[in-house]
Amino acid sequence: MFSIDGVTWDVPCTIERIAEVTPSEISGLLLNKRYFNDVLGTYMKYKVRLAVPLGYMEKYADIYETLTQPVDGHTFVFPYNEDEIEITGRVQVISDRWVKMPNDTSHWRDTTFTVTANHPSKEVTLGQAISTGMTPEPSGVDASVGDLFEYTVNGWVQRHYPDADEVYY
Amino acid sequence: MYVEIVGNSETKTYDDVRNISFAPQTDVIGESLPINEFAVDIYTDDSIRNGADIYLYDDEDNLWAKYWIVYAERMDEYFVRVRAQSKLVLLNRIKLPATMYDGDTASTVIAGIFNPLTVEGTDTQPVILDSSEYSVDSSLASETITGYCPEQTARERLLWVCFVIGAYVKTYFTDVIEIAPLDDTDVFVPLEQTYWKPAVSYADYVTDVSVTYFSFELDDPTSPSGSRDQIWYDGNYYNVTRTTISLANSHAPVTAPTNIVSISDVMIINEDNANDILLRMAQYYFDRVQVDLDAINNAEFMPGQKLTIYTDQESMVSGYAERCYFSFGLQAKSSIRLAGAAEVASGKLIILYKYGTKQIGKKKYLFPVGHQYSIENPYIDAQFNKHRYVFRPENQYATGTVTSGTNTNTQQCAVALDLEKKTEILYIVSVDDADAIVVEE
């Protein structure tokens, strides 16, 4: 299930999710043999394959007309992890096939289209990009005397509630 | 990156831009006075006109250039192509009369050069350049100018004055036209900001530099000297005496063909400043190394700075940056041309990280001799007695001064985290006035 410009389409479909962590053109190899990856942001791409039931052709025509509008983008809502994501994306190609059956019925099938986000769904600021690196001590928090910080794989995390076995929550 | 345009007392910001072209340059030896500019496509349906001030900023709101629009063309219904230049270009339009200077200060002379642009406005002659839009560095303001300038454009006169007082003109990363001294302080371009791999070339040997200086003596009209080398100024003839001094390049081999760089027509070079000018020319022309390098450059390195750079992981050169051609991503990259550069002595620095007597880490660097370093020590994930720990440095920074040869700096570490147990605690004992945390294990 997904929506286009606020209209939800509950049709059988397969949605392939692709996240592109997009580097800028100035990325390249540095003299210390490290690759400088100047990331502009993470752009989502969704490939949708519709399996439109025979009785759904009129609604399918509506989807088709919406997607083929010559606009720079639509607002889409797609599944994302346990939730949904709203992206403004462009559709450049929609393809399908018209099939005529022996019993004189005909329908469109195998519809596919790809939505590419116009804006990154994740990005860092210029200041964050310049100053990346691990902080030796906990920072960016208001520490008070008596606070406890635990070092984990995610860095320093503040702990507040030790139990009798000194396990921190 | 984004731009702001000031027009009709209103400032408007344009975030949607593309195709920014910005390649600031300067001439550190003073042979020319480049006019810097940038070009950009702006996504707008506004009408953008010539003559408006335009500012170029990065996403951290740092100013990259303040110029004025000389060309604006709508490309389609969405984009306008804008080209903007430094107002220095206006000096081309001004013709200054011949002037004899006699100990005038540089600030006075330069004010006279900009004066036709900064006069009070009228309906028919608006103020083009406010007097606050240019500045003369305080270290140069009281330098004196003595000699004769013929009728010339204001730009050419400014070029002569800058050459004589050892200044260059900076019109980038600033909102004014700055007349600034060359700074001998080395700015270090780290290895981790230098792209693979700088290109090094060598100019032909300059075997000699020479400078001609001038003195002027009023000719007695009742008893003319009959000299053929005279100038006419303010109703009088002045006899001109020219003296040439030169310096040979002691590093040029005897087999090098004669190649002399000479300055012979700048008539505000006098006996007092000629030697300084000669030494400045020698320093520039006798150093033959030219380097083209690409660097990650978020407005840290700019033309006119003396940069020390790596040519590879083992060698370094130092010279003045003459131009930086920028390209943009999230950060910025620039292609930098160093001219009049020389190889610099370097020393290796090895930082050893130890837990007691056991070495758990090592980092190697190459720095110029005399470089004062302050390198942040990392946390180290390492094995000790077949047990995995994260070690924290006891000092936050490794500091020192690099000498020639190999320098070793040992930094002690303590256990921060036992990865086999995955628990280790820091107990905050105090927080100082600067919100720095003092910890106790």
Contacts of B430 in chain A (CB under 8 A): 145
Rounded CA separation A108/A164 (Å): 67
Site from A30, A31, A123 to mutate, B interface, most B CB atoms within 10 angstroms: A31
**Closest-CA distance of chain B to residue A122, Å:** 13
Of B204, B207, B209, which Cα lies nearest the Cα of B247? B209
3-class SS of residue B408: strand
**A46: closest CA of chain B, how far (Å):** 24
pLDDT at B340: 84
- Prediction ipTM score: 0.70
Answer whether B60 sits within 8 Å of A136, measured CB to CB: no
How far is the alpha carbon of A57 from chain B, nearest alpha carbon, in Å?
37
Return the number of other C-beta atoms located less than 10 Å from residue B315's C-beta.
Answer: 14
Nearest to B332 by CA among B198, B439, B173, B201: B173
From chain A, pick out residues whose CB is under 8 angstroms from the CB of B435: 142-143
Find which of A26, A153, A159, A166 to mutate to test the B interface (most B CBs within 10 Å of its CB): A26
Give the B window 60-89 contacts with A, CB below 8 Å: 60
Query: CA of B170 to nearest chain A CA: how many angstroms apart?
Result: 25
Nearest residue of chain A to residue B392 (CA atoms): A136
**Closest C-alpha among B176, B164, B68, B24 to residue B156:** B164
Give phi and psi for B149, each to the nearest 5.
Answer: -115, 125
Question: What's residue B428's pLDDT?
Answer: 54
Tell me, yes or no, if A131 comes closer than 8 A to chain B by beta carbon: no
Q: B399: Cβ–Cβ under 8 A, 6 or more apart, which residues?
A: B372, B373, B374, B375
CA distances from B161 to A9, A14, A41, A154, B31 (A): 74, 73, 49, 59, 11
Q: Which residue of B has its CA nearest to A149?
A: B426
Say if A140 is an interface residue toward chain B (CB within 8 Å): no
Question: Which of B236, B244, B264 is CA-nearest to residue B98?
Answer: B236
Pairs across A and B, CB distance < 8 A? 119
Per-residue pLDDT of B319-365, as tens digits, reads 999 999 999 988 999 999 998 888 888 899 999 999 888 888 888 88
Q: Report the gap between the CA of A69 and the closest CA in chain B (Å).
A: 19
CB contact under 8 A, A28 and B195: yes
Q: Count other C-beta atoms under 10 Å from residue B164's C-beta.
A: 24
- What is the DSSP secondary-structure string of B254-280? TTSPP-EEEE---TT--TTTHHHHHHH
Interface check for A134 against chain B (CB to CB < 8 A): the answer is yes
Q: CA distances (Å), A149 to each of A161, B179, B290, B421, in order?
A: 11, 52, 52, 16
Cβ contact, residue pair A25, B327, below 8 Å: yes
Three-state DSSP class for B304?
Answer: coil
Residues of A with CB below 8 A from B379's CB?
Answer: 134, 136
Measure in Å the smallest separation between the Cα of B424 and chain A Cα atoms. 6
pTM of the model: 0.76
Among residues 63-122 of chain A, which lie with CB inside 8 Å of chain B? none
| Cβ–Cβ below 8 Å for B330 and A40 | yes
Query: Which residues in chain A are contacts of B192 at CB distance < 8 A?
Result: 30-32, 34
Pick from B191, B411, B396: nearest CA to B311: B191
Question: What number of CA atoms fall less than 13 Å from residue B304's CA on the CB side?
Answer: 23
Q: Which residue of B has its CA nearest to A148?
A: B427
pLDDT of the residue at A162: 47
CB B269 within 8 A of CB B211: yes
**Cβ of A136 and B377 within 8 Å?**
yes
**CA B255 – CA B258 distance, rounded (Å):** 9
Q: How many CA atoms lie within 13 A of B104 on its CB side?
A: 19
Q: Do B196 and A23 touch (CB under 8 A)?
A: no
The candidate with the shortest Cα–Cα distance to B379, out of B416, B325, B341, is B416
Residues of chain A with pLDDT under 50: 133-140, 162-164, 168-169
* Shortest Cα–Cα distance, A17 to chain B (Å): 25
Give the span between the Cα atoms of A7 and A91, in whole angstroms.
16
Q: What is the reported pLDDT for B123?
A: 53
**Contact map slice: B 289-348 vs A, CB within 8 A:** 294, 296, 298, 310, 312-313, 327-333
**pLDDT tens per residue across all 441 residues of chain B:** 999 999 777 899 999 999 999 999 999 888 889 999 999 999 999 988 888 899 999 988 999 999 999 999 999 889 999 999 999 998 998 899 999 999 999 999 999 999 888 765 555 555 567 778 899 999 999 999 999 999 999 999 999 999 999 999 999 999 999 999 988 888 889 888 999 989 999 888 999 999 999 999 998 888 888 888 999 999 999 999 999 999 999 989 999 999 999 999 999 999 999 999 999 999 889 988 899 999 999 989 999 999 999 988 778 899 999 999 999 988 999 999 998 888 888 899 999 999 888 888 888 888 888 888 998 888 888 877 777 778 888 888 999 999 999 999 999 988 877 766 655 556 555 555 555 555 554
Question: What torsion, rounded to 10 degrees, do the Cα atoms A139, A144, A145, A149 define?
Answer: -50
Quick check: A31 and B294 CB within 8 A? no
User: With helix as H, strand as E and coil as C, how does B216-241 read?
Assistant: EEECCCCCCCCCCCEEEECCEEEEEE
| Rounded distance between C-alpha atoms, residue B398 and residue B395, angstroms | 7
What number of other Cβ atoms are within 10 A of residue B195's Cβ? Answer: 17
Residue A128 at interface with chain B, using a CB cutoff of 8 Å:
no
